[in-house]
Amino acid sequence: MNTKEDFLNGQILLIDKPIEWSSFQAVNALKWAIRKKFSLKKIKIGHAGTLDPLATGLLIICTGKFTKKIPELQGQVKEYTGTFTLGATTPSYDLETEVNGNFPIDHITDASIKDATTQFLGEIDQVPPIFSALKKDGKRLYELAREGKEVEIKSRKIEISEFEITRIDLPELDFRVVCSKGTYIRSLAHDFGKALGSGAYLSELRRTKIGDFNVNNATSPNVFKENLELNAST
């Protein structure tokens, strides 16, 4: 049972972010619930690593003095599962934008799929998607992308320690990836399509782990609010 002091002194809250929620919306939902429950004018609260609106899964939210732990938590290794759809590309590398190119997939075999995964293991250079929240010249990349501007994005070093294909049902591939901070799974989808001599985009994504934290122990923002109203002591 959490008290007002618990939240102010610091809590690490594990949230299972619903699809189509932004990470900011999830943080806001918790902030308002805590403030309302304990009649607080303000409380420090933030998340340790954004999830795209179309992704679901683990979002670590820190309150009070534990917001100081956010940089450390952001640096932890992450695990994702999801689906790549082969044979097409989109500008955002996921379903946020419409398909802008179609490619053959008849030449793709189970063996070539397994072989392609090995190209992405270890430390690699990855170019983030243009539709991302990274900044260039003070503007977020997705803002520039929506204005139709050509932007040169520098590659960055990331590390993929595990990458396995868990289901092949073309044009869909299910995967599991364990990777470092700063890895874009959308870029991995795009690059994976290229490696297969085709195209690909990310059609489903779920973050399952951050460091030792597991989504199996997380609750949805709505369940958090319900539990808070029922159980928390003032």
Class of domain 78-210: alpha beta
Cβ(67)–Cβ(13) below 8 Å: no
CA distance 9 to 119: 45
Distance from CA of residue 77 to its chain's centroid? 12
Q: What are phi and psi of 139, to 5 degrees?
A: -115, 145
* Residue 177: both structure tokens together: 């990836």
CA-CA distance, 206 to 176, in Å (whole number)?
A: 10
Question: In whole angstroms, what is the distance from residue 42 CA to residue 32 CA?
Answer: 9
Report the 10 Å Cβ neighbour count for 69.
14
Average pLDDT over residues 73-86: 97
Single out the catalytic residue among 6, 16, 52, 169.
52
* Statement: 4-75+214-231 belongs to CATH 3.20.190.10: no
| Residue 18 confidence class, pLDDT cut points 50, 70, 90 | very high
Two tokens at 229?
A: 């109203």
Q: Is 137 one of the catalytic residues?
A: no
Mean pLDDT of the 98-117 span: 97
pLDDT of 2: 84
Distance between CA atoms of residues 60 and 49, nearest Å? 7
Residue boundaries of the structural domains of the chain: 4-75+214-231, 78-210
Task: Tell me the pLDDT band of 26, cut-offs 50, 70 and 90.
Answer: very high
The answer on pLDDT for 134 being more than 80 is no
| CB contact at 8 A, 97 and 202 | no
> How does residue 165 score in pLDDT terms, banded at 50, 70 and 90?
very high
Residue 150: pLDDT above 90? no
CA distance 111 to 159: 23
More confident residue, 1 or 27: 27
Across 3-12, 149-158, 180-189, least confident range = 149-158
Domains 4-75+214-231 and 78-210 share a fold: yes
Confidence check: pLDDT of 232 > 60: no
HSE at residue 75, side-chain half, CA atoms within 13 A, is 4
Report pLDDT for 27. Answer: 97
End-to-end Cα separation, the chain, in angstroms:
10
* pLDDT band of 233, cuts 50, 70, 90: low
Quote the pLDDT of residue 179.
Answer: 98
Quick check: 33 pLDDT over 70?
A: yes
Contact 50, 23 (CB under 8 A): yes
